[in-house]
Amino acid sequence: MQWYHHCTHLPASSYSCTSEQWWIDTCPSLFWKYRYVFWGCAAFYIPLWKGIQWYLSDKEPLGKIWPWFKHALISWNIFLSVLSWVMMYNIGLALIQLKGQIGYIPLCYQSDQLIDSDSEEFKASHTKHVFWMVVFMASKIPEMLDTIWLVLNKKEVITLQWWHHLTVMLYCWAQGVAYPDSGDGMLFAFINSFVHSVMYPYYALSILFPCVRHPMIRMSITILQISQMVVGILLRMSYQANCTPIYPDRQRWVGIAGWVIYGSYLFLFAKFFVDQYVFKAKSKHTKGDKKMR
């Protein structure tokens, strides 16, 4: 597949293309070249955790029989916490720099508009933010292991859990193929990294200190996740109304996928909130009343 982007007028072996141009020209090609990695993860994801569930159906949870399970799980969540913080910082810094350079919140930003800028500051910041966008999109593959940790400890895997990890990974791959450094993608990455920078530390701390699992803390994190979906939908609406894609044939499908995932996540998170903090609370209250009688 040919990618007609900044450097396609140059021979494939040419090194005269500047690094920031090379990055944005190469990223879609790399995401397409390694599409089978993403597609393979998508294809084997559900059979893998379903197979582990079946294998462990008559066995003890790994958390009970392997003494290092808790340490490994804490380390995993700390790793994802640090990664989320680093991505949030670098992508957020890129958004601030872009706002300073173009004068507005870069929702409609597309690097083709400014790639010929003579500003060395722009070139350096552009190369850096494209790199961190690639890291963000690729990070959705290891995040799928969250489901495996649950299954190994024989915890319930709800629809929200597996659907979110599967579809966001494919969505990020599609974004990488279509346009890895568009403004709407950067805003999505920043917001998602921010939410994860709160969520993963909570997971790590909740293993170490059970008191952290207080209903109010859990509810606050769920509200934060729901808010992310609401903001995502509002951003999509604003993008549709105000922005003109440079590559509409590619970006159109990513936009449709954005509506699907944000809409489905909002529904599933809202359902989770109601199930956990409304119906369960009522059920506990009813049981308490019966015991008092």
| 12 located within any domain | no
State yes or no: pLDDT of 26 exceeds 70. Answer: no
Tell me the CA distances in angstroms from 151 to 44, 196, 219, 293, one per residue in order. Answer: 15, 21, 23, 39
Residue 146 located in a structural domain? yes
Asked if residue 9 has pLDDT above 50, the reply is: no
Q: How many domains does the chain have?
A: 1
Region 28-34: mean pLDDT is: 79
Q: Please indicate, yes or no, if residue 97 is contained in any of the structural domains.
A: yes
Q: How far apart are CA 167 and CA 175, in angstroms?
A: 12
pLDDT at 7: 39
Give the pLDDT of residue 8: 42
Say whether 164 is catalytic. Answer: yes
Per the residue annotation, which of 164, 165, 196, 285 is the catalytic one? 164
Around Cβ 54, how many Cβ atoms within 10 Å? 10
* pLDDT value at residue 162: 96
The residue segments making up the domain with residue 197 are 24-278
Q: Please state, rounded to an integer, the average pLDDT across all residues of the chain.
A: 82
Question: Which residues have C-beta within 8 Å of that of residue 110, sequence separation ≥ 6?
Answer: 179, 181, 182, 183, 245, 246
Residue 121 has what pLDDT?
60
- Residue 87 falls within a domain, yes or no? yes
Q: Is 287 a member of any domain? A: no
Structure confidence by residue, pLDDT tens digits, 38-47: 999 999 999 9
Would 41 be classed as within a structural domain? yes
Residue 228 has pLDDT above 90, yes or no: yes
13 assigned to some structural domain: no
The model carries a pTM of 0.84
